[in-house]
Amino acid sequence: MVRFIAAVILAGTLAACQAEGPETVSVSTQNLNDTRVAKFLFGAQPTASPQSPAAIGGFSRGCQAGAEQLAETGPTWQAMRLSRNRNWAQPITIDYVQDLSRFAATLDGWAGLYVGDMSQPRGGPMLTGHASHQSGLDADIWMLPPNRLNLTVAERESISSISMQRAGGAFVNSSWTPQHEALLRAAASDPRVARIFVFPGAKVAMCNSATGDREWLRKIRPWWGHHYHFHVRLNCPTGDRACVDQEPPPPGDGCDDAQAWVDRILNPPPPDPTAPPPTPRAELTMAQLPGQCLDVLNAN
């Protein structure tokens, strides 16, 4: 049983690096014969494309044109892991992160935000880690409350966030504070937000303590991993016709669903000996991305 639980947690951790939730993206015929692996092409781009801003495709099969770079340090934020060059996003995402950081700075013990991965300069599949974060509308926010915003580049590479979970994600631990809940409530209450991913125990904890208007809880979705950070995904910007939104969360506050996740963590179902082994995720090729992504890649 211990081995099975470990396997469940490992599988969940791997899934956390993959796309969260279903998505359908129509692909232009422009790239149908292009079998080049997309992550190597997009991962090699050091700067944004000189185009008008546009989120293209979806969060796990897309790219971004005309991205902006989040400043490495601002009055109420610092971008982390600068060597990854993933502090790029659509203007709406940059504005959102800065707005949320200003709110975070009003919380007791928080000087602002440490901002993790957003997107690559031209979006697209990443060389390592996420399967999402491709269209410039995703951002990871660290759970670590910043007590200073003058970290050096070297410190930003070595410092780690802190985990909020215990019992494999079924519960929050002693590092979880009312300030974390207040930050997530503010993050989810913004109309620009489509959904926020966090580990199941955190969602259940907020379901148990939230008072008043609970509509914001609908956008907080349980997902594997996401205990060192929470993952914000924005809606497609108005007028971005090439952008593909994820289906909206189901009606209601989603608390029953989160509790079901916790129940499965605490009492995992027995393994199915007839289940086939998981199929390794294939690398995305340029043929599988929207046709506009080739233009983004080639824009100079």
Per-residue pLDDT of the chain (300 residues; tens, 9 = 90+): 333 333 333 334 334 444 454 444 444 445 778 999 999 999 999 999 999 999 999 999 999 999 999 999 999 999 999 999 999 999 999 999 999 999 999 999 999 999 999 999 999 999 998 889 999 999 999 999 999 999 999 999 999 999 999 999 999 999 999 999 999 999 999 999 999 999 999 999 999 999 999 999 999 999 999 999 999 999 999 999 999 999 999 999 999 999 999 999 999 999 888 888 888 888 999 999 999 999 999 999
DSSP state of 226: -
Long-range contacts of 171-178 (CB under 8 A, 24+ apart): 171/201, 171/204, 171/205, 171/262, 172/201, 172/202, 172/205, 175/143, 176/202, 176/205, 177/109, 177/145
Count CB-CB contacts under 10 A for residue 96: 20
DSSP state of 129: S
Cα–Cα distance between 88 and 73 in angstroms, integer?
Answer: 13
Decide: 127 and 119 in contact? Cβ < 8 Å: no
Cα–Cα distance between 60 and 247 in angstroms, integer?
Answer: 13
Count CB-CB contacts under 10 A for residue 299: 14
Q: What is the pLDDT of residue 14?
A: 39
State the greatest distance between any 2 C-alpha atoms of the chain, in Å, as a whole number. 55
Cα–Cα distance between 31 and 15 in angstroms, integer?
Answer: 28
In the three-class reduction of DSSP (H, G, I as helix; E, B as strand; rest coil), residue 195 is classed as: strand
Please, which residues have CB within 8 angstroms of residue 99's CB and are 6 or more apart in sequence? 190
Decide: 163 and 225 in contact? Cβ < 8 Å: no
Residue with tokens 């899934």: 15
For the chain, the distance separating the N- and C-terminal CA atoms, rounded to the nearest angstrom, is 55
Going from the C-alpha of 269 to that of each of 129, 143, 266, the distances in angstroms are 28, 30, 10
Q: What is the pLDDT of residue 5?
A: 36
Q: Tell me, what amino acid is at 25?
A: V
Q: Which fold has domain 27-293?
A: Muramoyl-pentapeptide Carboxypeptidase; domain 2 (3.30.1380)
